[in-house]
Amino acid sequence: MALDERLRREIERAGEPGDPSGVYEDLIRRHERLRVARRLRSGALTLVVVAGTVVGVVGLARVFGGGEDPPKPPLRPVSPGPMENGLVAYTTGDAIRVQGVDGSKARTIPAPEPGLAWHVAWAPDGRHLAVAIFGDPGRSLWVIRDHGGDPVQIAEADNVSRPSWHPDREHLVFSTTSDGTTEIHVTSSDGTDDRIVYSEAAPGTYAVFSASFSPDGSQILFDAGTDSGYDIFVMDADGSNVRRLTDTGSDYNPSWSPDGSQIVFTRQEAASESDIFVMDAEGSNVRRLTDDDGSFTNLDAQFAPDGLSITYEAAKQGGTGPVMVMGADGSNPELLVAVHVLGFSWQPVAPDASVEPSPGPSQEVGKDIGLGFPVCDLTSVAGVFAPGVEGTAWVATKTGDAGCPSLGDGMQVVAVDVSGDGTADTSFGPLECDPWCSAFAAPDVDGDGTDELLIQNIQFSIAGLRLYDVRSDPQATVAPVTVSSPGYPGEDLAPGAEPQLWIGGDAFDSETLRCFEDESPPAGPGRVLVQTSATQVPPDSPDAMWHATATWFDLQPDGTVTIVDHFDFEEPVASPSFAQRNPLCGARLPAPFGG
C-alpha cells in the first residue's frame, strides 16, 4: 500500500469528528454577550459626551458669571468643490449596507444600537455616516465610521429626520419632534455642540419632517407642517430669515443640487401617490420629473454627488421600494439598488484629493497624548503610578496614514502618565493584541501605595489579562511582568514568560477579579487573586454555582511575579461575592471607551 494512502487511512481512523449539537445555541449566546458588551461600550461613550457637555457648560457659566450658554460662533460657509459618485449606502431596517453601484465591495455595517436602521447620510469626507435608528419607543441619531466603528450618539427623540452634513464635516442638521415640539438642530458630529435653530409647537402632524444644509452650508432647507399640509421653507443657517418656497400643502423632503441652484422634492398628489419634482432654489420654475401611476410613492429624492443624476425610492402604496436613478431632468429612470430600502445615500468623492484635499481620514489626526504620534480607540484607567500623584494609563491604537484603523487592526501600545500632567511619560508596545486590547484596571498588587496596570486582550468569548509594572523612579517605565524563576511548571509558565490569565465563561468583567487583602491569603507581600474562566452551572439560574479557577500573583520588587497558587473553586452565584464586597483591592476601573 502506498505510504500516502496508508497515512490517509490511519489518520482518518484516528480522527474523532466533533459533535455540532448544541454548538449553534452556544455560539448565539456568546455572540449576544458580545453585542451587549458593544452596546454598553457605545452607551458609556454617550454618557461621557453628555457628562462632558454638562460639565463644560456649567464651567463656562461660572467663568462668565451667568447662567446662559456663551455665544457660539456662527458656522462658516464653505465653497463646495466638484464631487464624484462613490459607493452607495442604504438601510433595510435590519442592516446598513455599503456597496459600489455595480454591487461590488458589498459589506454590511453593524448598527450602533438595536432597532430599525432608517435614514443614512454620508459625510463630505466619505468616511463617516450619520444613521438614524428607529427603536422602540425612541429614535436616535448616530455618527459612525464607514466600517461601523466609533459610534457617537448625537440625538435622541420621539422622532428624528434624515440628517444632513454641513460641508465642514463637523456639523449636521436634522429635525426632532418630542412632546409636541418640533425643532431643527445644528449639532457637532461629536455631539458636544448642539444648537436649536428652529423650534415651534407641533400638534398632530405639524412637525418639521426634514432639514438639509445648502451645499455651502449657509442655509437650511426644510419642510414643515402647515394648516394646509406640508410645505417647503428655507432659512439662514442660524435660524433667521425664514422664507416659504411652496404653498401647495403637499410638498416635502426637499434636497439641494450640489451647485445649490436646484431643489428636488416630493409632491404628494393622492393618498399614497407621490412623485418627484424639481424647482429653482428660490421656489420658481417647478418641473415634474416622475409621473408614475397611483400605486407608486416616489420619495426621498436626492441629487447624486456629481449633480448629473437624481436618486429616489420607488415605493409602492406607501411602503418600501428599490432605489431608482434618473437624469437630473427626469430622463432614463433605471434601477440602482434592487432591494427595498428605508434610507439611501451616495458617497461623495473628491475627484483629485491631491489637488483639493478633502478633510478625509488622511487628515484625521487622532488624539495627541504625548507619544509623538496621534492615537485613536483610546481606553484608559486612572491610577496612582507615582507616590501621591493621580495619573492615567492608556491603551491606544496608532493612527495610520489612512486614519484610525478598524477596531482590532493597527498597532496598539500602552502609555502611562505618571506625573499627572495629562500626557504620557512612558510607553510600551506594540502589544500582543488578538484582536484588541483595552485598559482593564489599576490595582495596587503589591500593596506599596502605587498601582500596577491590568490590560485585557479581548478574544471574543474570553479575555486574557496581562499585568504591567509601572515605575516612576529613577525614570518612568511600564513593562509587562514576567514569571520569576523557577516558573510555574503546572501551568506551562516558564521563567521569563508573560503570564496571561484568562477570564471568560460567564465571568467577564472586573467583578471576576478578587483581592484577598483582608482575608487569609497565602504567604507573600503582594496578593491578587485573579478568577478565571468562571462558568455558571447551570447557566442563568438562581441556583447556579460559579465553577472558577483562581491564580495568586505575588509581585516581586524586580518586576517579576511568583505564581503562589493556582486552583479551582466553587461558590453560589447568588451569594454576595467577595468581589462585590471588596473589588480588587479598590482598583480603579477604566474610563468609558474613547476616554
Partner 1 sequence: MRVDEVALREFLHTSYPRLVAAVALVCGSRPAAEDAVQEALLRAWERSERGEEFESINAWVTTVALNHARSGLRRIIVERRARSRLQTPVIASPPIGDRIDIERALATLPRRQREAVVLRYYLQLETREVATALRVNEGTVKSTLFRARAALAEALGIHDTEEANDRGTR
Set of cell numbers at residue 220: 437650511
Out of 210, 380, 484, 533, name the contact with partner 1 by CB under 8 A. 533
Q: Which is nearer to partner 1, 368 or 571 (CB)?
A: 571
Q: Mark the segment that binds partner 1 (CB under 8 A) among 338-346, 363-371, 388-396, 461-469.
A: 461-469
CA nearest to 366, candidates 394, 390, 346? 394
Q: Mark the segment that binds partner 1 (CB under 8 A) among 9-17, 136-144, 233-241, 334-342.
A: 9-17
Q: Which is nearer to partner 1, 108 or 363 (CB)?
A: 108
Strand (E) or helix (H) holding 379: strand 375-386
By CB under 8 A, residue 17 contacts partner 1:
yes
State the number of CA atoms in the 13 A half-sphere of 312 facing the CB. 31
- Angular region, 260: left φ>0, alpha ψ -120 to 50, beta rest: left
Residues 6+ apart with CB under 8 A from 524: 552, 554, 562, 564
By CB under 8 A, residue 306 contacts partner 1:
no
- Check whether the bond before 538 is cis (ω within 30° of 0): yes
Write out the E strands in 180-273.
Answer: 181-188, 194-201, 208-213, 219-226, 229-236, 243-244, 251-256, 262-268
By CB under 8 A, residue 39 contacts partner 1:
no
Q: Which is nearer to partner 1, 502 or 516 (CB)?
A: 502
Residue 301 beta carbon to partner 1: minimum distance, rounded to whole angstroms: 27
Residue 491 beta carbon to partner 1: minimum distance, rounded to whole angstroms: 6
Q: Which is nearer to partner 1, 236 or 565 (CB)?
A: 565
Q: 132-151 burial, b for 16+ CB within 10 Å, e for fewer?
A: bbbeeeebbbbbbbbbbbbb
Q: Which is nearer to partner 1, 15 or 67 (CB)?
A: 15
Q: Which is nearer to partner 1, 149 or 480 (CB)?
A: 149
Write out the E strands in 433-497.
Answer: 436-441, 453-459, 462-471, 477-480, 482-483
Whether 221 contacts 239, CB under 8 Å: no
Residue 84 beta carbon to partner 1: minimum distance, rounded to whole angstroms: 22
Q: How far is CA 575 from CA 532, 568, 571, in A?
A: 18, 18, 8
Residue recorded with cell 487583602: 517
Q: Which is nearer to partner 1, 197 or 404 (CB)?
A: 404
Strand (E) or helix (H) holding 415: strand 412-417
Residue 430 beta carbon to partner 1: minimum distance, rounded to whole angstroms: 18
Out of 188, 192, 272, 406, name the contact with partner 1 by CB under 8 A. 406
By CB under 8 A, residue 201 contacts partner 1:
no
Q: Which is nearer to partner 1, 298 or 531 (CB)?
A: 531
Range 101-120, binding partner 1 (CB under 8 A): 106-110
Residue 93 beta carbon to partner 1: minimum distance, rounded to whole angstroms: 16
- Angular region, 149: left φ>0, alpha ψ -120 to 50, beta rest: beta
Out of 49, 89, 98, 220, name the contact with partner 1 by CB under 8 A. 98
Out of 328, 411, 537, 544, name the contact with partner 1 by CB under 8 A. 537
Cβ neighbour number for residue 5 with a 10 Å cutoff: 9
By CB under 8 A, residue 26 contacts partner 1:
yes
Give the Cα-Cα-Cα angle 376, 381, 382 (nearest 5 degrees).
125
Q: Mark the segment that binds partner 1 (CB under 8 A) among 143-151, 153-161, 163-171, 182-190.
A: 143-151
Residue 7 beta carbon to partner 1: minimum distance, rounded to whole angstroms: 5
Q: Which is nearer to partner 1, 236 or 491 (CB)?
A: 491
Range 540-579, binding partner 1 (CB under 8 A): 547, 549, 568
- Check whether the bond before 486 is cis (ω within 30° of 0): yes
Q: Which is nearer to partner 1, 34 or 365 (CB)?
A: 34
Q: Which is nearer to partner 1, 107 or 244 (CB)?
A: 107
How many chain residues bind partner 1 (CB under 8 A)? 57
356 CA to centre of own chain: 29
Residues 6+ apart with CB under 8 A from 361: 125, 127, 402, 403, 404
Range 421-440, binding partner 1 (CB under 8 A): 435
Q: Which is nearer to partner 1, 278 or 493 (CB)?
A: 493
Q: How far is CA 280 from CA 204, 255, 285, 314, 532, in A?
A: 30, 11, 6, 23, 67
Q: Mark the segment that binds partner 1 (CB under 8 A) among 189-197, 386-394, 439-447, 486-494.
A: 486-494
Q: Which is nearer to partner 1, 471 or 566 (CB)?
A: 566
By CB under 8 A, residue 272 contacts partner 1:
no
Residue recorded with cell 438614524: 132
Residue 45 beta carbon to partner 1: minimum distance, rounded to whole angstroms: 18
Residue 145 beta carbon to partner 1: minimum distance, rounded to whole angstroms: 10
Q: Which is nearer to partner 1, 510 or 551 (CB)?
A: 551
Set of cell numbers at residue 36: 451587549
Out of 188, 248, 461, 582, name the contact with partner 1 by CB under 8 A. 461
Residue recorded with cell 465610521: 145
- Check whether the bond before 435 is cis (ω within 30° of 0): yes
Residue 343 beta carbon to partner 1: minimum distance, rounded to whole angstroms: 17
Q: How far apart are CA 428 and CA 473, in angstroms?
A: 17
Interface residues toward partner 1, by CB under 8 A:
1-4, 6-8, 10-20, 23-24, 26-28, 30-31, 34, 98, 106-110, 147-149, 406-407, 435, 459-462, 464, 491-493, 500, 502, 504-505, 532-533, 535, 537, 547, 549, 568
